[in-house]
Chain A
Amino acid sequence: MRAGGTVLPGDVARPRTGGWRTGTRPAVDLSRCVDCLVCWIHCPDTAVRQRGAVFQGFDFDLCKGCAICAEVCPTGAIRMVSEETPLDPGGVLPGTGVLADGQG
């Protein structure tokens, strides 16, 4: 560790703040998502992924479960669900669509 706890680019390969969640995580109904990325700009933990102007789901290694995305989503596409609720990759509610890149 650097003196004083100074952190330089590359020092932290992969932060994992997802372990801070306490039971719920965001889930998205892709059929209602309009790619406005309001969730992306509000997320304090860069846990909303995007490519260009296209919503790409959530990164649950980073998401702390704060629910700000669900609060600000203007179309009601995002809601908080139990960790046990089965979701498609990226936090997509099953049967509501497939993310553009098709990845989780």
Chain B
Amino acid sequence: MAKVELALQVLTGAEATAHAMRQIQPDVVPVYPITPQTPIIQTFSRFVADGKADTVIVQVESEHSAMSAAVGSALAGARTMTATASQGLALMVEVIYIAAGLRAPIVIAVGNRALSAPINIHGDHSDGMLARDSGAVQIYAQDAQEAYDLMVMAPRIAEHPDVMLPVMVGQDGFQVTHSAEGVALLPDPDVRDFVGPYEIPNPLLGGGASSHGTFAMPDSYFELRHQLVQATEAAEAVYAEVAQDYRRRFGRDLPQIDAYRMEDAERAILLIGSAAGTAKEVVDDLRAEGERVGLVALRLYRPFPHAALRAALAGARRVAVLDRAVSPGAYPPLYSDALGALQGSATTLQSYVYGLGGRDLSQRAVRRAFAELALPAADRIGYLGLGGEDGDGEP
């Protein structure tokens, strides 16, 4: 494994993402600003204005237009990226479905943020869940370094011939987008070499004639949607292949599932995103106290890594699934997905919701979840940090 030793720079997740974009140099970036994504495009726009990236930034009047322009651009034959969050992602969702259906490989950086109402600018995963069933690949970073690494990996996943789909690279709003930490950037030529040229079949500006976005009657729609399902499913193996190449070249390991101290763990927490850091601290503390606990954090959420999750949780009897989104009137999305993956296994799951609208997940709350896993299973959704009961947030 060729480990690349690089100096750390102090960067926020948003800045690190903008650096990845500068190094990749997408041909076209249609984008509309929205907190907490804005520092991504603001930083990247500065790079372009300073001549550090040769990219056409298309200033549009909404995220719906941003994604619409991105679809045309990607199918025309231009490597295309955009960025959004929250209400902007909500507005974009209609066209994300279209981008996926037309197999347009657009990379979308997302600063995950709560949805209105009430209006709130802070982090949770409600926005990403809106696009959950679109066919777009969804990957989530735990910190600024991962936001950078996953952004570098994203075009390879999006543009792989078996995939050809939008890839959303999520990072928790503020907790990652605006938090400065040490980030090691790869050398520019290495990134460009890793990403390679943009190649899609039958680009609109490729010299041949092609029609995209054609009408599909009942005799063909089902087959085309099934193709989309297969493409999204194929992205799991492609993610693994790209992550393996990334590790081989740069010595950084970002498997689809981050299994932390799961060896002989009887109880575990499953979650997505920046809360993994807090949960790892608690796992370390409880391990020091002799408890057999571990953490599983998903980087790849769509396609959902069913078999890999089943394998990662194989030894655990009880698992608390921590969702940072709700599905009012039903169990939340990650829990439901995990339940499907673990069907027929001996592992039982407990559903928790935490961190809506940017509320911190305290170590005390994570400890409570682990403690409750030692009690008889409760047939209800638990809420961590709600009403200040775990000593975090305001009641």
Asked whether A9 is an interface residue with its Cβ less than 8 Å from the other chain, the reply is yes
Complex CA–CA separation, A1 to B225 (angstroms)? 11
> When the two chains form their complex, are residues A6 and B208 in contact, meaning their CB atoms are under 8 A apart?
no
Residues of A within 8 A of B224 (CB): 1, 4-5
> When the two chains form their complex, are residues A5 and B209 in contact, meaning their CB atoms are under 8 A apart?
no
> When the two chains form their complex, are residues B208 and A3 in contact, meaning their CB atoms are under 8 A apart?
no
> When the two chains form their complex, are residues A4 and B164 in contact, meaning their CB atoms are under 8 A apart?
yes
Report whether over half of chain A's contact residues are helix, strand or loop; otherwise say mixed.
loop
Would you give the shortest CB distance from B132 to chain A, in whole angstroms?
20
8 Å CB contact of B102 from A5, A8, A9: A5
* Total A-B contacts with CB atoms under 8 angstroms apart: 44
Asked whether B343 is an interface residue with its Cβ less than 8 Å from the other chain, the reply is no
Report whether over half of chain B's contact residues are helix, strand or loop; otherwise say mixed.
loop
Complex CA–CA separation, A8 to B202 (angstroms)? 8
> When the two chains form their complex, are residues B208 and A8 in contact, meaning their CB atoms are under 8 A apart?
yes
> When the two chains form their complex, are residues A3 and B164 in contact, meaning their CB atoms are under 8 A apart?
yes
Known contacts A6-B102, A6-B202, A7-B214, then 19 further A-B pairs from the complex at CB < 8 Å, ordered by chain A residue: A1-B227, A2-B201, A2-B202, A3-B201, A4-B104, A5-B101, A5-B212, A5-B214, A5-B216, A5-B220, A5-B224, A6-B103, A6-B201, A6-B210, A7-B210, A8-B208, A8-B209, A8-B211, A9-B208
Report A1-26 CB contacts with B as 1/0, cut-off 8 Å.
11111111100000000000000000
8 Å CB contact of A7 from B164, B201, B211, B231: B211
Residues of B within 8 A of A1 (CB): 220, 223-224, 227
Would you give the shortest CB distance from B69 to chain A, in whole angstroms?
18
Residues of A within 8 A of B104 (CB): 4
Complex CA–CA separation, A3 to B202 (angstroms)? 11
> When the two chains form their complex, are residues A4 and B102 in contact, meaning their CB atoms are under 8 A apart?
yes
A41-57 with Cβ < 8 A to chain B = none
Report B73-115 CB contacts with A as 1/0, cut-off 8 Å.
0000000000000000000000000000111100000000000
